[in-house]
Every structure is written in C-alpha cells, then in structure tokens.
Amino acid sequence: MPIHLRAEPGDYAEHVLCPGDPSRATHIAETFFDPGFRLVNSERGMLGYTGTFEGRPISVQTTGMGCPSAGIVFEELAQLGARRFVRVGTCGGLLDGMKMGDTVVAMSATADDTTPIRYSGVNGFSPTATFALVRAAVDLASAENSTVHVGPIVTSGLFYDPDPTAFSKWKSTGHVGVEMEAAMMYTIAAIHRIEALAMMTVSDVLSDDGSTVRISDEELKHGVDTMMHLACRIAVS
C-alpha cells in the first residue's frame, strides 16, 4: 500500500481523472459517475473515488496544487496500476482572442518548475500528451461545438509570479496556457509508459502587462462541467 493513497491494487480503475481540488473530485463522482461509486482514499483530504461512467470503469483522484504534491499522487497511482491519466482543472489563457470558459488541450508542457526536471533528470525535457487522446479530445469537442485550443502550455511553480513579464514571455514562444501540474503528470507518464492528457478550462485571461481578468463563478462552473463531461468520455474511450 502506498504511503499517501491508502488503497490496494484494484481499488482504482486503470483510467483516472486527476483534478487538483478535492471538492472537484467529489463533484465529478456525484455528477458524472453512474450510481454506486465508492470512496477509495481520504488520506490527508486527498479524496479519490472509483465507479463507472456509462458502464465503463473510471476513477477520480485529487492531486493537490503544484508539481511536488501532484508528483506523489501520479507516482502512487502508477504503483496501483493506473494506465491512463486525464488531468482536469483550470488554467490561465495566453492566446489573443481566448475567452474565459474555453477548453485548452495541452499537447506538451514546459516545466517552469524544478520538480519535473529533477524527476526526469533531463534538462530541457518537455513531455508530451498521448496523441490519440489529443485527437479524441479535439474530435469530441468539435462534435459538441465546444471551443478548444490545442498547443503547448507552461507548468509554473508560482501562482503569484513576481515577474510581470512572465506571461508575455510564454505567450511569445507559442504557449497557450499556464497551470501548475501538467508537466509533472506528463513526465511521470512518460517514465512509466502511461497514457496522459491534460484538459483545462480557461479561468483567467492573462495580459502581457501581468494583469488578469477572472471568470465569474457561474461561468467557471459551466465551463468546467462541459470540459469534465468531455474528459470522462475520453478517459473511458
């Protein structure tokens, strides 16, 4: 039994949704899973549930915020037999014309955080998503007329970045969003040969001068629920 996920092999499905927020894990299970899901982990408030979605096995496990916390969870999920990670959460949008509530699909994640770099042992390593999952996400989003942006994102170790020019630097190099966990997930997935995809709802639009415009709670809930339903379909595909 791992130290932080107090579960045994078989308690988790092979395909796992991975939000940062424990309340979001509960919301996913209660809103999207079929009746009969069960709690499989509550250690340190890192809630995890296993059930089915449209009759197919699926789990959801909280990762916490940032690469160090997420890295523990992804590593222990791998120890417990997970074979597909789908990160679901929010990000800051960097593209011109991007709207709050849009969906971002991360083809790759640049680590502006030393944890994934230390883990891989390779400076400059930019881990990527599983292409089949990227393609599935784009196809499903297009079929539902959802706005989706595909491209590289940056995983930052700072939520409150003291450098007001950081956003413009990432934008100038083609990054479409910024968040705090995807590079860690993609790195561990690459090492363990696990399929992985990060999908996020744009919760803030970030300007070149470092200012942000924040989404309303109502808009955020609608955008996240749209993205999460899509993520459930991809996770069990």
Whether residue 204 lies in the annotated active site:
yes
DSSP class of residue 50 equals: E
**Taking Cα atoms as reference points, which of 233, 191, 167, 196 lies closest to residue 109?**
196
Amino acid 110 reads: T
Backbone angles phi, psi at 92, to 5 degrees: -85, 135
Residues whose CB falls within 8 Å of the CB of residue 145, separated by 6 or more in sequence, listed in order: none
DSSP class of residue 191 equals: H
Going from the C-alpha of 37 to that of each of 44, 110, 129, 227, the distances in angstroms are 20, 35, 28, 21
**Taking Cα atoms as reference points, which of 224, 186, 184, 187 lies closest to residue 89?**
224
| Residue of 11, 204, 217, 225 marked active site | 204
- DSSP state letters, 193-206: T-EEEEEEEEEEEE
Residue 209 CA to residue 196 CA, distance in Å, equals: 33
Residues labelled catalytic:
204
